[in-house]
Chains A and B, each alone.
Chain A
Amino acid sequence: DGGITQSPKYLFRKEGQNVTLSCEQNLNHDAMYWYRQDPGQGLRLIYYSQIVNDFQKGDIAEGYSVSREKKESFPLTVTSAQKNPTAFYLCASSIEESYSYNEQFFGPGTRLTVL
């Protein structure tokens, strides 16, 4: 089955700890995205990648880092510099970022809680 997988489903972080969220897709999509969702708010873009070995900051990149070493994978690291990381993290992908009719499809999400 083609799709996007995220792991873990739930993640707990201690103060000062870095954690990495996994995102894998087998849709052969070029573009991948990370969003953050807080209760009662819309999705906010953290980082996106149009192609392997290239990525750009979104609207709220501070305290986060990413890599794109493989087309299928786009992991997100939440660093200790992110002061309020408790949120629902969503990974998405699309055929290519520049395509006008670009439809993005989402993975199941990772819920991160700071202890």
Chain B
Amino acid sequence: QKEVEQNSGPLSVPEGAIASLNCTYSDRGSQSFFWYRQYSGKSPELIMSIYSNGDKEDGRFTAQLNKASQYVSLLIRDSQPSDSATYLCAPRTRWGKLQFGAGTQVVVTP
């Protein structure tokens, strides 16, 4: 079992629709969780962080966390072509290190 699992995609989303990305993690001691967006050939960019169970909204992005289920998700509302990228889930483990998933590729189609 991978320490951080994400669907690799590609996740094809019509423009204006909601993209739903999922992430499960193995370290029950993880307390902080981060979502990064990575455009092809570029470095990761931090877009969301979440520390408590429940939802956190920032603009068109909503992160959802359920520590009991070891599950974190990212919703992208009103998807735009500029949202086409790979999204990396990164829990911070109990040992203080970020553990990255392989990422989910999102493709927003006009």
> Chain A: residues with CB nearer than 8 A to chain B?
35, 40-45, 48, 58, 90, 97-98, 100-109
**A109 contacts across to B, CB distance below 8 A:** 42-43
List 23 contacting pairs A-B, 8 Å CB cutoff, sorted by A.
Answer: A35-B100, A40-B8, A41-B102, A42-B4, A42-B101, A42-B102, A42-B103, A43-B88, A43-B98, A44-B100, A45-B97, A98-B96, A100-B31, A100-B32, A100-B92, A101-B32, A102-B96, A104-B46, A104-B98, A106-B36, A106-B44, A108-B42, A109-B43
How far does the Cβ of A64 sit from chain B's closest Cβ, in whole Å?
16
Decide yes or no: A90 and B43 within 8 Å by CB, A42-B102, A45-B97, A101-B32 being known contacts. yes
- B71 within 8 Å of A (CB atoms): no
A31 → B minimal CB distance (Å): 10
Cβ–Cβ contact B32 & A102, under 8 A: yes
B87 to chain A, nearest CB (A): 12
Chain B residues within 8 Å of A40, by CB:
8, 102
**Residues of B71-110 whose CB lies within 8 A of A:** 88, 90, 92, 96-103
Chain A residues within 8 Å of B96, by CB: 97-98, 102
Please name all residues of chain A whose beta carbon is closer than 8 Å to the beta carbon of B31 when the two chains form the complex.
100
Taking a contact as CB atoms under 8 Å apart, the answer to whether B92 and A102 are in contact is yes
B43 contacts A103, C-beta separation under 8 Å: no
Q: How large is the interface on B (under 10, 10 to 19, 20 to 34, 35 or more residues)?
A: 20 to 34
A-B CB proximity, top 5 nearest: A42-B100, A43-B100, A106-B43, A109-B43, A42-B102
Most chain B beta-carbon neighbours within 10 Å: one of A35, A43, A58: A43
**Closest beta carbon of chain A to B57's beta carbon, Å:** 18
Choice from B43, B51, B98 contacting A107 with Cβ under 8 Å: B43
